């Protein structure tokens, strides 16, 4: 049996031909963040490194919170260069004993879908690749997904994802429906402690405050489910458009419930608005913007859609709104709790 190392090194060839070295060190976590990154003095690069590593972990079947992995690079790649991402992911797996390569590893590859374990491609020139001994290259014809490292199936096939829509009200002509997508990958373990739930949720591209809001909403709503916590790695993505306030929360919770098989599927889309100060109790609270949001929903309603609004709106809906939704072939419900809706 191979011992788990405390340090691992993986290299990547940069566009200018220089060799970038990723060093991963494993140590007891002791209450610290599970991943810490140093981006050669670049804070934005360090944040991107941490995001890549956390997303790439989302198709791993087990979660171990005992260790912290510290990753550093010896030089900063050029702006926009991403071929080093695969080396970072492999170094993280090597130091945690999830992959045991023979000899030095040079890897080039990038992905827009790390949360599904997919590797989209690489940018290494053929001549540079030919000069290397057995480089690991991402993309078709090389390492197309992380499962291939161990001869496993595509881990993305085990990801269940669902999308729900919500009204984006900006005060006029730019009102539109936004969407939120939740992807979940099962963990091979019994339910975990509630304090770990938020560590298993990634929200790439959002600042710390918004990530915290998303994690709190999902963790709270899962608390409402029997055995709903500690069983999934989760990635949340929002569509284009500026997200303000909290009216997206109900759509987020419903997308998560659909992805986890906890909600009936409509014939069309789930379109919802609502928030809660007590998701752990399954409660749905009201949000602002009843009139403009109802006008938007009426314009956007399509056959098979299921529109869900806070119960507090029921007696204040605009005249003819419910009839208009029905005429569009959609259905409408004003809810005060989540459940099988």
The reply to whether 206 and 302 lie within a common domain is: yes
Same domain for 242 and 188? yes
Q: How many residues does the chain have?
A: 341
Q: For the whole prediction, is pTM greater than 0.75?
A: yes
pLDDT band at 173 (very low <50, low <70, confident <90, very high): low
CATH number at 38 reads: 3.30.230
Q: Taking residues 193-211, what's their average pLDDT?
A: 80
Which pLDDT tens digit goes with each residue over 262-296? 988 899 999 999 999 999 999 999 999 999 999 99
Residues 148 and 224 both lie in one domain: no
Q: Among the ranges 36-45, 237-246, 306-315, which has the highest mean pLDDT value? A: 306-315
Q: What are 134-169's pLDDT values in tens digits?
A: 899 999 889 999 999 999 999 999 999 999 999 998
* Whether residue 305 sits in one domain with residue 232: yes
> Which segments of the chain are extended strands (E)?
7-13, 19-28, 35-38, 67-73, 107-108, 136-137, 160-168, 176-186, 201-202, 232-238, 270-272, 306-310, 331-335
Provide mean pLDDT across the span 307-321: 96
Q: How far apart are CA 235 and CA 250, in angstroms?
A: 17
User: Which pairing describes strands 160-168 and 136-137: parallel, antiparallel, or unpaired?
Assistant: unpaired
Query: Is residue 260 domain-shared with residue 166, that is, in the same domain?
Result: yes
Q: Is 136 in contact with 74 (CB distance < 8 Å)?
A: no
Number of compact structural domains in the chain? 2
Question: By residue range, what is the domain housing residue 240?
Answer: 159-335
Instruction: Please provide the DSSP assignment of 26-77 as one string.
Output: EEE-TTS-SEEEE-TT-HHHHHHHHHHHHHHGGG-S----SEEEEEEESSPP
Residues 300-309: what's their mean pLDDT? 96
Same-domain status, 104 and 171: no
94 and 240 belong to one structural domain? no
Lowest mean pLDDT among 77-81, 104-108, 123-127, 305-309: 123-127
192 and 84 in a common domain: no
Predicted local distance difference test score (pLDDT) of residue 225: 83
- Do 36 and 145 lie in one domain? The reply is yes
Q: Are residues 331 and 222 in the same domain?
A: yes
194 pLDDT more than 80: no
Q: Check residue 191 and give its pLDDT.
A: 44
């Amino acid at each position: 049996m191979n011992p788990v190392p405390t340090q691992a090194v993986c290299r990547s060839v940069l566009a200018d031909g220089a060799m970038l070295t990723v060093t991963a060190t494993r140590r007891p976590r002791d209450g610290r963040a599970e991943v810490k990154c140093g981006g050669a003095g670049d804070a934005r690069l360090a944040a991107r490194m941490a995001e890549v590593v956390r997303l790439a972990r989302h198709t791993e079947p087990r979660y171990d919170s005992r260790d912290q992995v510290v990753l550093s690079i010896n030089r900063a790649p050029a702006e926009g260069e991403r071929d080093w991402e695969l080396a970072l992911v492999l170094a993280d797996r090597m130091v945690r004993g999830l992959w045991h390569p023979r000899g030095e590893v040079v890897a080039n590859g990038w992905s827009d879908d790390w949360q599904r374990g997919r590797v989209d491609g690489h940018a290494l020139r053929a001549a540079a690749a030919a000069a290397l001994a057995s480089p690991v290259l991402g993309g078709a014809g090389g390492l197309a997904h992380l499962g291939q490292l161990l001869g496993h199936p595509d881990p993305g096939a085990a990801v269940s994802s669902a999308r729900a829509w919500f009204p984006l009200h900006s005060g006029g002509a730019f009102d539109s429906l936004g969407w939120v997508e939740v992807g979940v990958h099962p963990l091979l373990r019994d339910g975990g402690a509630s304090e770990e739930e938020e560590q298993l949720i990634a929200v790439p591209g959002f600042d710390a405050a918004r990530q915290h809001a998303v994690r709190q909403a999902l963790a709270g709503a899962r608390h409402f489910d029997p055995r709903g916590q500690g069983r999934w790695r989760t990635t949340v993505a929002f569509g284009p458009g500026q997200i303000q306030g909290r009216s997206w929360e109900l759509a987020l919770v419903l997308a998560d419930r659909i992805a986890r098989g906890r909600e009936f599927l409509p014939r069309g889309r789930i379109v919802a608005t609502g928030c809660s100060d007590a998701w752990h109790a399954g409660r749905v609270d009201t949000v602002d913007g009843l009139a403009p949001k109802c006008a938007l929903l009426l314009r956007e309603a399509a056959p098979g859609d299921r529109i869900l609004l806070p119960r507090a709106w029921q007696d204040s809906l605009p005249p003819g709104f419910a009839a208009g939704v029905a005429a569009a072939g959609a259905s409408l419900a004003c809810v005060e709790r989540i459940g099988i809706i």
